[in-house]
Structure 1
Amino acid sequence: MSAYEPVSCYSGPLTMAQGQWLRGTVKAVSSGDCLTIVGSVKSGPPPEKTITLSSLMSPRLARRDTKDEPWAWQSREYLRKKVIGKAVVFKVDYAVPSINREFGSVFMDDTNLALDVVANGWARVKTQVNAQSEQSPYLADLVKAEEQAQSQGLGMWNKTPGAAEASVRDLPPSGVGEGSTFDALGLLDECKGKAIPALVEMVRDGSTIRVWLLPSYQFVQVYTTGIQCPSMGRRPPPVEAVPETAKAETNGGSGAASEPLTSAQRLAAANAPVEVAPDPFAREAKHFTETRVLHRDVRIVLDGVDKYNNLFGSIFYSENDVAQDLALQLVSQGLARVVEWSAAMLEPLAKEKLKATERQAKLDKLRLWVNFVPAPSNSVAVRDDNFTGVVIEVVSGDCVVVADDAAPEGSPLAERRVNLSSIRAPKVGNPRRDEKPAPHAREAKEFLRSRLIGQKVAVQMEYTRKVAPTDGPVPAPGGERNMEFGSLFLLDKSKDAEGATVAPTANGEAPAPGINVAEMVVGRGFATVVRHRDFEERSTYYENLVAAEARATKKKAGMHSAKEPPVAHLNDISDRTAAAKAKQFLPFLQRSGRQPAVVDYVLSGHRFKLIIPKESVAVAFSLAGVRCPGRGEPFADEALAFMRRRISQRSVEIEVETVDKTGTFLGSLFENKVNVAVALLENGLAKLHPNFDPSRTASAVDLQRAEEKARTHKVKVWENYDPAAEAAAEAASTSDTKGEVLNVRVTEVVDGSRFYAQVESDSRLSSIEAQLEGLKLKEKVLPAGAFAPKRGELVLGQFTLDDSFARALIVEAPKQATGTGGDKYEVFYVDYGNKETLPVSRLRPMEPGLAAVPQQSHLCSLAHVKVPGLDEEFGVDAAQLLQETVADKKLVARVEERDNSAGRTKGQGVGPRMIVTLVDPESSATIQSVLLEAGLARLEKAGRGASRQKREALEALQEHQELAKKERLNIWQYGDVGSDDEEEPRAWGRR
């Protein structure tokens, strides 16, 4: 073989002298005696040369209007299978310019291909030539081999009767070219989804090939599904040369002038196709395809047909015994673009692989994408943010809250809201905005709740995305918020995975730590996969999600089903406006005893929203006899976090004891048969209610023991517990405080029985006013955005009527406080009892010294009488009469009782209050008597345990009520107003 070592490799156009040995690779085999050999270069398509084996003549394959010569197909197949894609050495023996062909000798692994073909009977030897130079240097060996093949009946010398005729292919009508009647749609219906063996006969461009479908020998043109390579341009049709003599004869002699063109000739010349150069990288794309599939066996999966009857298919070839997808390979090299309308014919997973490959080629700026600049994206990748935790809340089918194991309880990162990457579940809606849940939203949320709540999960955060105000609620001051997206993995692999698998990602990364939750949801048909823009961040397991969606679509599961989604009937009586309806449910819930429920939401440490499946009702529920710290108080957030981790969205059991005025049910709640109230008390996150009645609660002993244990060890709410001080306070609370007399001035009337009053003997109010005046707050203007107070914060508010500043409590703050002056804050003036709404420009921060002074307005209510509320009949009249009676007067208030059961609730009309008898010193008349005589109030009924003082006071006021009854004034206009057992009469003045 050393005699055939090439002098050099191809380094330019093939114009080497005859007789020079060259090395190359067989690119194509067009017949049993003709090969196309290519060289190699560092960049761009290499040069190529077509060599016909010297002194040979093989049978010819069929042309447009001819049939195969006998043994033509078998002859070509023998040579093709032997040498296609193999390295060879060759030299040109001679050339025939008249037919523009070169003849040569080709060797592969010490084998003379011409000699091998003849020896196996697949070509004839041409011995009659015009010159000695136009013959193979191995002619004698070829003739001898031919004689031997003939004698043995090999190949085309087969003597079997009918063998020659049987070797001719029976070709169906071609599916290529104008006028073709090929039924592409029929072929697609017959072969869709099947891998059809084929032989590539021609490569038109990088993404278009012409093939023989085997074994039918149907000749068709196939476009590669989903991609398009650059165009190879267009060449004008060849112009036949006209001899000079013919020109002269046509023109009537050499000296005659040319005749002018006719109109038809000018029109034909104008419409003649012009040459169009190939697009950039078109030749590279075509060469890439040719070197892999031309004259090679491939498999084609037909995907579709366009409106022009063109076939589209996926082309698979073998490389190193590994099946390769031609479309993927072209796109990965930057030699093709993904075409969306064509890619839609592919399966979702195949389409996503194609688009992911194109994205990578764009990032690498390969060939077609050399000048590519990614479009700006609103998503940012997150790196190295992985953690484990327990799922404590399922917000929707694509959003959960996870308690991070590594974060200390109570810290801002203790609970992390994780949106599942690259999927979108139906929206659960917002009842406050009258938004109803989308179809399958409740099912998606319940699917996740039943599988994730309380379960250990691993989280891989992947990207964050900025959300504009139109996309949802925006609590951030800048008008937008960041949503965090990640992949969630259920570590307990025994749970129902719904088709999800623990498998490596499509890009070959390490296996996932557990069951992919997003894949579970999508596979069940409760979410769809987001079709991201090109360079938006996405899930690392995106292709797995696409495959899961394809399975769900095929099964018609969940959202993909044609059936109507189930309608969930849930009677929500958890709002305060449904208090009357809640009372109607009380007998049913009491009779049921201990019954199952689901904690829908944890409102505070001791108050929850529950769903009772048996009754199809949502209720507000509070632990009987137990109270956690209120909002803003120490350990309130810890109590809330403790209960969220313990029972949020868990399946629990409840026992209902009673219902209060607001429609909140009171009772005991059990999680895993453990009373959660006991756990709260033991951890020092709650106290027993001051009015706790052990006789009404079955587990009263356990509750008292739990509180005593926490109190003894001074846990949390008991950290400052002093037994001696507690005993003194208890003694003071049991002493007789009735009869305490105060000189007061009413500053604000809340309704007909409640008002705020200042104690005139307290000099602290005048001191506060003097301090505020000295601060000269009107002259101090804060810059925009410098101050954005929160709910529950004490500030200084500028009263609208006189522009004076007073101490105020923020009762309600805007959800999106920007500090620009347009925000409206509801404030309560703690020293006067009135409230109003102010912009942030009329608010100032308060100094600590001023904040330490107690509230100077005291909430009071009239003793012994019941007065209609403002939303009831005659309620406004009663309030107006009270306002007129007490306005600008110094009054005397005798304290009958103090009510501290409301705790430290903030805002107007709530909180600790004094129940008083209010007397006008000028007339010595009580305000109660004025309201009774006007028929705008009625007396309370003395209970069995009423004191002697109360009975005497009621008897003294009785005559004033009788006067109004006699005159049938206001509430008495129709007679008796009703029973005293009814705490809130629905209509004052009607029987």
Structure 2
Amino acid sequence: MRCVSAPPRLPPSVSGPPATETDLAASMSPGPAARANLAGGREMGGSGGRGREYGTIYLGDTNIAYLVVANGFAKVKEQGRRKGDNNPYTTELLRLEEKAKDQGLGCWSKASTRILPASTNPSEVKGFFAKMKGKTLEAIVEQVRDGSTIRVYLLPSFHFVQVYIAGVQAPSMGRRAFIPSMASQAGATGDVDVNSQQQQLKYLWQQNRSSYHHHLVLILKFHQIGSVRIILRGTDSFDNMFASVYYCDGNTDKDLALELIENGFAKHMEWSANMLGTETKQKLKNADIQAKKEHLRIWTGFRPPATNTRPIHNHKFTGKVIEVVNGYCVIVAGDVGPCGSPLAERRVHVSMEYSRRINIANGQVVTDKTNQVGTRVLDYGSVFLPSLVDGTGSPSPNSSSNPLGANVAVLLLSRGFADITRHRDYEERSHHYDALLGAYSRAEKAKKGYHSKKDYPVIHMNDLTTVPGKKAREFFHLLQRNKKHSAVVDYIFSGHRFKLTIPHETSTIAFSFSCVRCPGKNEPYSDDAISLMRRRILQRDVEIEIEAVDKNGTFLGSLWESKTNMASVLLQVGLARLSSFGLDRNPYAQNLIEAEKTAKQNKLKVLENYNELEVIPQGSMTEQNGKEIFKVIVTEVLGGGKFYAHIVGDHRVDNIQQQLASLKFNEISETSKDTSDTLENQDQTINTQTDTLEVKVKPHNHVVHPLPVRWSSLFKDHLNTMKGEVQSAEEPSTSKVKDPSNDIPFNPTKGDVVLAQFSLDHSWNRAMIVSEHQGPTEREFEVFYIDYGNQEIVTYIHLRPAPAKFSISVIPPLAKLCSLAFVVVPDIMDDLGEKAAGYLRMLLLDNEGEFKATVEERGSVGAKLEGQGTGEVLIVSMYDEDAESSISAAMLEVWHSHFSH
């Protein structure tokens, strides 16, 4: 202002004699007072010699220079006192100055009311902050350095400090002059002019400080000053203080940080916002996102980077948690999908949190879900657990405050089992993010879970699934001390075999249902059986009763979930078959038999082709003294007193051969062969007659097991019958078994059930792959004929894939493995083993007769059928009714006569 000179502001680091309050008021008050009166005023005047503009400022009809000098806040300049000065206001200014001197106002005061600090800057920032943290401090804004940094006087301590607004950062003020023409040009082109935003930002600050109140200690009651409230929040490594700044707008207190972000003058700063409360921090974050969407000021032309996340709106489904993969991922079986089917399962990642520990969940869920066809995506959603009534497990009506129930993510965070996912600013986040932040903050303050510094005890489990079977069997007697054990299902290998953890015994075991078998891998309904068990018992508390242990260390017994025998559930829905092995020792055998009977009557799933006449031949099986008795025909003799036999009257053998005879087997083309068959002779051809089942086979270099006389005679009748049927059925409607390798390469592996061509009579039969190796010209496979009991090596071209109706889950192996009871016959590799096998072959095969077999006991060789001599074995007493002699007695007689010589 022209002709007026105000005293300099007291430097923050000044030292010397103590200053008085009046002196401080005289040095500082003109600043805010003048700025207050300038708001809305007008300016008149000219330019000075150093590029400064001088003039007279009016507020309404009041001359600001008169007002400042009259209160002693400024002096009249010396040049204004010189004669010849043509300033029309000089006379009045001199008069007002003399009046202020006489009254001792402002800088003309000679009184001292109290002693002020020698330095107005805090000597030790950290100590000052520790003393003032969290307190609401009145302050006068002395300078706006930039949109997010101010310098204030704190009252009543009169400390002069520089404060950074927590949670925001505004562009710094540049040194370039503001040119309106450039701003209008930038607005036309769409470019962002930083200086333009800085000028608007400074104007916003002036507007925010337009609310004043009377302060009786420092200034006269008719002066209005700009005041704010400051709450110190924290400091950084450079001792810069961060605070929340509030101003009064009428009767409302407003947060300057929020106002700056909402108007697009500043951006959100995550690291300094962490000094604020959870609710305040979220408000700043939401305001920043909204300003970006509206492209306000500094966000003009803003384009968020590409992201692989997208929002999902109102897409919910209900279901049951069947597996907790980890602390932030669950697999949910939807209520809409088919019950017990793998198609109903969905993998959902809990939104906005990740866990360091696994937490088992149980109950219904409601979760967001997205579908993308042909793309592998991660589905993030909010999972809710309805409240339960009195712990009974039945859902209760949810409260109006939380209609969906308890948020699982909030439960994990509140117990310190999870952490918040740090998404980027432009990425979508959970609709319940505020609740998640609150739960995380409470757990952190309470030092729960991993926030605690305590060392939690490590539980050591004895894993019996990884040790040899012999060592696992040593624990059998320990587990039998208690009749029943509480356990948790960790994993499901198949519909009837699981991995269980027994907490009380700190052990993990492999467990299988006793007397119950589900379809094996890649067999029909195998996935359905696994899915049903996953939905019912996976990662849930169960009760088990152990009855036995096999040689592989798998414990056999019964399992209950909520007092329901799960073996009965499988049998009742047709996803399992009842095995006779050990059934007489099973205390729950009657319940299992009734459950399977229900499935047989309804012909469910694996029992859909069940025919009682085929399974139980009429007149072939009787029972005496609780023992099964039936007539058999022996098909193959092994060493050690073991042999394979057919039950007389079992028509399934004939039915299978008739079905195979009605099929025409095409030659495997070169394109359909497995790519690993590289040594095959390309010039070699195979001539197959399409009108019969006779196939010309190239000679084999390997040795084929000899075909017993009786076994060969059985095939003659079948082969002649099949030839006649095929010759009489020469019509286009005859179905062909086309190798699926025309579309998908046929690559049989160990354990697969295929159709193999027997080398002696060229008939096709069901067989299991036992092993494979590379032959002289092509791949060779050792196969076990599951319906007759013999085993041989065939080449790749003599194999075909077996239709599903011929799988062992639909029709089990028809050759029964038997062993002589009450005698010990030397094994084939032992001394006299070959002679014993030869003599037994003579007794059972050469006379081509039927024998009466009495089942004395049931056992097993190995855990499952893997080839010749494995699987379930019947311990039988064989009796030749024609010769009226016992086979076991005949073996003993020859044995004793041999040693007597």
Q: State the secondary structure of the residue aligned to 1:587.
A: helix
> What letter corresponds to residue 483 of structure 1 in structure 2?
L
- Indicate how the Cα distance of structure 1 residues 173 and 836 shifts in structure 2: closer, same or farther if over 3 A, else same: farther
Q: CA deviation at 1:591?
A: 2.7
Distance 1:278 1:199 in 2: 28
Aligned to 1:520: 411
Q: Which moved more, 1:594-603 or 1:634-643?
A: 634-643
Query: Which one of the candidate residues 934, 938, 954 is aligned to 2:891?
Result: 954
Q: CA deviation at 1:569?
A: 1.4
Aligned to 2:512: 622
Query: Which one of the candidate residues 416, 423, 429 is aligned to 2:353?
Result: 423
CA contact (8 A) 2:289 2:426 kept: yes
Aligned to 1:102: 55
Query: Which one of the candidate residues 483, 490, 505 is aligned to 2:385?
Result: 490
**What does the per-residue CA deviation read over 1:508-563, in whole Å, with 9 as the maximum and x for residues that have no partner?**
xx977332212221232222233334545543434543443343333332223333
CA contact (8 A) 2:134 2:231 kept: no
Q: CA deviation at 1:202?
A: 0.9
CA contact (8 A) 2:20 2:113 kept: no
Aligned to 1:612: 502
Q: State the secondary structure of the residue aligned to 2:473.
A: helix
> What letter corresponds to residue 729 of structure 1 in structure 2?
P
Q: CA deviation at 1:212?
A: 1.6
> What letter corresponds to residue 457 of structure 1 in structure 2?
V
> What letter corresponds to residue 551 of structure 1 in structure 2?
R
Query: Which one of the candidate residues 671, 683, 690 is aligned to 2:561?
Result: 671
Distance 1:843 1:383 in 2: 57
Query: Which one of the candidate residues 198, 201, 208 is aligned to 1:292?
Result: 208
Query: Which one of the candidate residues 555, 572, 582 is aligned to 2:463?
Result: 572
> What letter corresponds to residue 773 of structure 1 in structure 2?
E
Q: CA deviation at 1:222?
A: 2.9
Q: State the secondary structure of the residue aligned to 1:166.
A: coil
CA contact (8 A) 1:74 1:167 kept: no
Distance 1:648 1:222 in 2: 57
Q: Which moved more, 1:397-406 or 1:605-614?
A: 605-614
**What does the per-residue CA deviation read over 1:710-755, in whole Å, with 9 as the maximum and x for residues that have no partner?**
55566666666666x378536445597656255x7x9xx9999899
Aligned to 2:41: 90
- Indicate how the Cα distance of structure 1 residues 190 and 616 shifts in structure 2: closer, same or farther if over 3 A, else same: same
Q: CA deviation at 1:221?
A: 2.3
Distance 2:769 2:282 in 1: 53
CA contact (8 A) 1:125 1:143 kept: no
Aligned to 1:23: none
- Indicate how the Cα distance of structure 1 residues 951 and 413 shifts in structure 2: closer, same or farther if over 3 A, else same: closer
Q: Which runs of 5+ in 1 are unaligned?
A: 1-51, 176-181, 237-276, 427-443, 465-475, 497-501, 505-509, 799-804, 813-824, 916-939, 967-991
Q: CA deviation at 1:409?
A: 1.3
Distance 1:168 1:327 in 2: 35
- Indicate how the Cα distance of structure 1 residues 390 and 223 shifts in structure 2: closer, same or farther if over 3 A, else same: same
| 1:803-952 equivalence runs, <5 A | 863-864=819-820, 908=867, 949-952=886-889
Distance 1:780 1:61 in 2: 93
Aligned to 2:132: 191
CA contact (8 A) 1:94 1:134 kept: no
Q: CA deviation at 1:869?
A: 11
Aligned to 1:594: 484
| 1:728-739 equivalence runs, <5 A | 728-729=616-617, 731-734=619-622
Q: Is the counterpart of residue 461 in structure 1 residue 369 in structure 2? A: yes
Q: Is the counterpart of residue 406 in structure 1 residue 324 in structure 2? A: no
Aligned to 2:744: 787
CA contact (8 A) 2:746 2:801 kept: no
- Indicate how the Cα distance of structure 1 residues 400 and 756 shifts in structure 2: closer, same or farther if over 3 A, else same: farther
Aligned to 2:539: 649
> What letter corresponds to residue 414 of structure 1 in structure 2?
A
Distance 2:312 2:640 in 1: 56
Greater relative contact order (CA < 8 Å, ≥ 6 in sequence): 2
Identity over aligned pairs, percent: 31
Distance 2:22 2:798 in 1: 101
> What letter corresponds to residue 246 of structure 2 in structure 1?
Y
CA contact (8 A) 2:639 2:837 kept: no
> What letter corresponds to residue 460 of structure 1 in structure 2?
D
Distance 1:593 1:950 in 2: 41
Aligned to 1:660: 550
Aligned length: 748
Distance 2:741 2:308 in 1: 28
Coordinate RMSD, CA, aligned: 6.4
Distance 1:280 1:392 in 2: 59
CA contact (8 A) 1:652 1:671 kept: yes
Q: State the secondary structure of the residue aligned to 2:457.
A: coil
Aligned to 2:152: 211
Aligned to 1:230: 171
> What letter corresponds to residue 352 of structure 2 in structure 1?
S
- Indicate how the Cα distance of structure 1 residues 794 and 70 shifts in structure 2: closer, same or farther if over 3 A, else same: same
**What does the per-residue CA deviation read over 1:359-381, in whole Å, with 9 as the maximum and x for residues that have no partner?**
66556555445465544444454
CA contact (8 A) 2:330 2:347 kept: yes
| 1:305-324 equivalence runs, <5 A | 305-306=236-237, 309-318=238-247, 320=249, 324=254
Distance 1:157 1:374 in 2: 56
Distance 1:316 1:767 in 2: 92
Distance 1:332 1:689 in 2: 73
> What letter corresponds to residue 382 of structure 2 in structure 1?
S
Distance 1:580 1:94 in 2: 107
CA contact (8 A) 1:353 1:543 kept: no
**What does the per-residue CA deviation read over 1:742-769, in whole Å, with 9 as the maximum and x for residues that have no partner?**
5x7x9xx999989999x99x99999899
Q: CA deviation at 1:567?
A: 0.8
Q: CA deviation at 1:399?
A: 1.9
Query: Which one of the candidate residues 145, 159, 172 is aligned to 2:119?
Result: 172
Distance 1:157 1:394 in 2: 77
Distance 2:532 2:277 in 1: 48
Distance 2:140 2:863 in 1: 86
Query: Which one of the candidate residues 122, 131, 143 is aligned to 1:202?
Result: 143
**What does the per-residue CA deviation read over 1:57-78, in whole Å, with 9 as the maximum and x for residues that have no partner?**
9887535769978647668999
CA contact (8 A) 2:320 2:364 kept: yes
Q: Is the counterpart of residue 740 in structure 1 residue 633 in structure 2? A: yes
Q: CA deviation at 1:313?
A: 0.4
**What does the per-residue CA deviation read over 1:152-183, in whole Å, with 9 as the maximum and x for residues that have no partner?**
x9986999xx9x422785452447xxxxxx43
| 1:475-514 equivalence runs, <5 A | 481-492=376-387, 513-514=404-405
CA contact (8 A) 1:639 1:685 kept: yes
> What letter corresponds to residue 665 of structure 2 in structure 1?
Q
Aligned to 2:10: 62
Distance 2:240 2:126 in 1: 8
CA contact (8 A) 1:810 1:826 kept: no
- Indicate how the Cα distance of structure 1 residues 206 and 771 shifts in structure 2: closer, same or farther if over 3 A, else same: same
Aligned to 2:320: 390
- Indicate how the Cα distance of structure 1 residues 846 and 672 shifts in structure 2: closer, same or farther if over 3 A, else same: closer
Q: CA deviation at 1:955?
A: 0.9
> What letter corresponds to residue 245 of structure 2 in structure 1?
F
> What letter corresponds to residue 580 of structure 1 in structure 2?
K
Q: Is the counterpart of residue 304 in structure 1 residue 235 in structure 2? A: yes
Aligned to 2:436: 545
Q: Which moved more, 1:843-852 or 1:83-92?
A: 843-852
Distance 2:782 2:206 in 1: 82
- Indicate how the Cα distance of structure 1 residues 833 and 941 shifts in structure 2: closer, same or farther if over 3 A, else same: closer
**What does the per-residue CA deviation read over 1:327-351, in whole Å, with 9 as the maximum and x for residues that have no partner?**
5554555544566776676778877
> What letter corresponds to residue 388 of structure 1 in structure 2?
T
- Indicate how the Cα distance of structure 1 residues 779 and 635 shifts in structure 2: closer, same or farther if over 3 A, else same: closer
CA contact (8 A) 1:381 1:462 kept: no
